[in-house]
């Protein structure tokens, strides 16, 4: 009898290890795919996908979604634009209403391309559906399938709100301006800041106006509450340069940091987590990250 129980315990341990290994493999795959996605983000200030992922997860939490749903949204946010990987630069820096007909027809394909890239991974089946739907709108004016209201996955409804906001505020206008005659050119830092504030207000006004038309009103309300609270708290915080060894969870990067081979390892606006600390220290040892980094505390 004792031998039998021992065998059961042994099997249980093995299963647990196997489960941990699977979870490890899953998150490693997410990391690789997320880094690939970031290769198409050079026309943003900070990381578009990390912003969308972080804020979408906060909304999901605020709306009382389950742990599993929040994790799914987090991953979908990281990977939602993976279908843009093969895009030419013109499709990356232009807004959709500035694209030529040919560019636009390629652009509307990116949710489908993204879904196809992710689909082979069986564990990602919900995520590939969310990626496919992240440009759908409540009134059926979205793409690629013109879904309406209840037909749209709740996670896709969240991502589309955060995605709109980030595109309006953090797309690099000046770089966009180099080849685009209609783009805004800034003459001084203060004009740039005023313009950012204007764009911030305009983006929130647009979301409010299109609440219940294009976007789910509960999601818009939750997002505005989250982003406004963050903005107010940010005003009370200070920017400082601090040694990586002295970083604490909850601090926020105030600059983008890239590795020597061009990968974004820390994005402006990203909150530092306890899990990230050992990796950041390793980056300093490998001289991929400066000894001191600019943070908001
Ligand atoms: Fe997209
Ligand atoms: Fe996006």
Q: Among 88, 91, 111, 92, which Cα is nearest to 101's?
A: 91
Spatial strand order in the sheet of 292-296: 239-243, 292-296, 252-253
- Report how far ligand 1's centroid is from the alpha carbon of 170 (Å): 14
- Report how far ligand 1's centroid is from the alpha carbon of 284 (Å): 33
- Report how far ligand 2's centroid is from the alpha carbon of 30 (Å): 17
Domain ranges of the chain: 2-236, 238-297
2-236 and 238-297 share one CATH topology? Answer: no
Could you tell me the CA-to-CA distances from 68 to 20, 60, 86 in Å, in that order? Answer: 16, 11, 31
- Report how far ligand 2's centroid is from the alpha carbon of 156 (Å): 11
- Report how far ligand 2's centroid is from the alpha carbon of 71 (Å): 18
What is the token pair recorded at 47?
Answer: 């990381």
CATH 3.90.105 fits domain 238-297: yes
Distance CA 82, CA 102 (A): 20
Say whether the peptide bond before residue 129 is cis (omega within 30 degrees of 0): no
- pLDDT, residue 185, reads 40
The whole-angstrom distance between residue 122's C-alpha and the CA centroid of its chain comes to 22
Distance CA 209, CA 220 (A): 10
Could you tell me the CA-to-CA distances from 111 to 98, 167, 250 in Å, in that order? Answer: 19, 16, 33
- Report how far ligand 1's centroid is from the alpha carbon of 38 (Å): 13
Reduced to 3 states (helix: H, G, I; strand: E, B; else coil), residue 118 is: helix
- Report how far ligand 2's centroid is from the alpha carbon of 159 (Å): 8
- Report how far ligand 1's centroid is from the alpha carbon of 208 (Å): 21
Encode pLDDT of 56-71 as tens digits: 999 999 999 999 999 9
Distance CA 206, CA 167 (A): 13
Ligand nearest to the CA of 49: 2
Reduced to 3 states (helix: H, G, I; strand: E, B; else coil), residue 143 is: coil
* Maximal C-alpha separation, the chain: 82
Encode pLDDT of 239-295 as tens digits: 778 899 999 998 888 888 887 777 788 888 888 989 889 989 998 998 888 888 888
- Report how far ligand 2's centroid is from the alpha carbon of 48 (Å): 7
- Report how far ligand 1's centroid is from the alpha carbon of 80 (Å): 6
Encode pLDDT of 91-116 as tens digits: 888 888 888 898 899 999 999 999 99
What is the token pair recorded at 46?
Answer: 């900070």
Confidence of residue 191 (pLDDT cuts 50, 70, 90): very low
**CB neighbourhood size of 153 (10 A):** 21
- pLDDT, residue 281, reads 92
- Report how far ligand 2's centroid is from the alpha carbon of 131 (Å): 10
Could you tell me the CA-to-CA distances from 103 to 87, 97, 178, 278, 282 in Å, in that order? Answer: 9, 10, 18, 42, 41
**Gap between the terminal Cα atoms of the chain:** 59
What one-character DSSP code corresponds to residue 211? B
CATH number, domain 2-236: 1.10.3210.10
The model's pTM is 0.77
Confidence of residue 1 (pLDDT cuts 50, 70, 90): low
- Report how far ligand 1's centroid is from the alpha carbon of 192 (Å): 26
Distance CA 192, CA 190 (A): 5
Encode pLDDT of 14-25 as tens digits: 777 777 777 778
User: Do 203 and 169 form a contact (C-beta atoms < 8 A)?
Assistant: yes
- Report how far ligand 2's centroid is from the alpha carbon of 13 (Å): 41
Ligand nearest to the CA of 48: 2
């Amino acid at each position: 009898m004792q031998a039998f129980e021992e065998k059961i315990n042994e099997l249980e341990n093995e299963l647990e290890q196997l489960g941990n290994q699977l979870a490890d493999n899953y998150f490693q795959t997410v990391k690789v795919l997320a880094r690939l996605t970031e290769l198409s983000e050079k026309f943003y200030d900070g990381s578009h996908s990390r912003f969308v992922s972080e804020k979408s997860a906060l909304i999901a939490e605020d709306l009382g979604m389950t742990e599993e749903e929040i994790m799914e949204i987090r991953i979908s946010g990281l990977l939602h634009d993976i279908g843009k990987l093969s895009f030419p630069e013109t499709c990356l820096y232009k807004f959709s209403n500035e694209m030529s007909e040919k560019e636009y027809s390629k652009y509307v394909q990116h949710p489908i391309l993204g879904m196809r890239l992710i689909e082979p991974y069986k564990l990602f089946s919900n995520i590939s559906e969310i990626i496919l739907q992240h440009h759908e709108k409540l009134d059926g004016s979205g793409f690629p399938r013109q879904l309406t209201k209840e037909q749209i996955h709740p996670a896709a409804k969240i991502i589309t709100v955060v995605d709109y906001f980030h595109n309006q505020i953090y797309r690099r206008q000046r770089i966009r301006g180099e080849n685009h005659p209609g783009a805004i050119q800034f003459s001084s830092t203060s004009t740039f800041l005023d313009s950012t504030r204007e764009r911030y207000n305009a983006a929130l006004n647009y979301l409010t106006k299109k609440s219940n038309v294009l976007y789910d009103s509960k999601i818009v309300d939750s997002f505005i509450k989250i982003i406004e609270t963050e903005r107010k708290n940010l005003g009370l915080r200070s920017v400082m340069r601090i040694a990586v060894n002295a970083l604490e969870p909850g601090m926020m990067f105030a600059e983008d940091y890239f590795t020597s081979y061009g990968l974004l390892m820390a994005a402006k606006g990203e909150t530092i987590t306890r899990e990230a600390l050992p990796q950041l220290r390793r980056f300093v040892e490998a001289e991929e990250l400066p000894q001191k980094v600019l943070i908001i505390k």
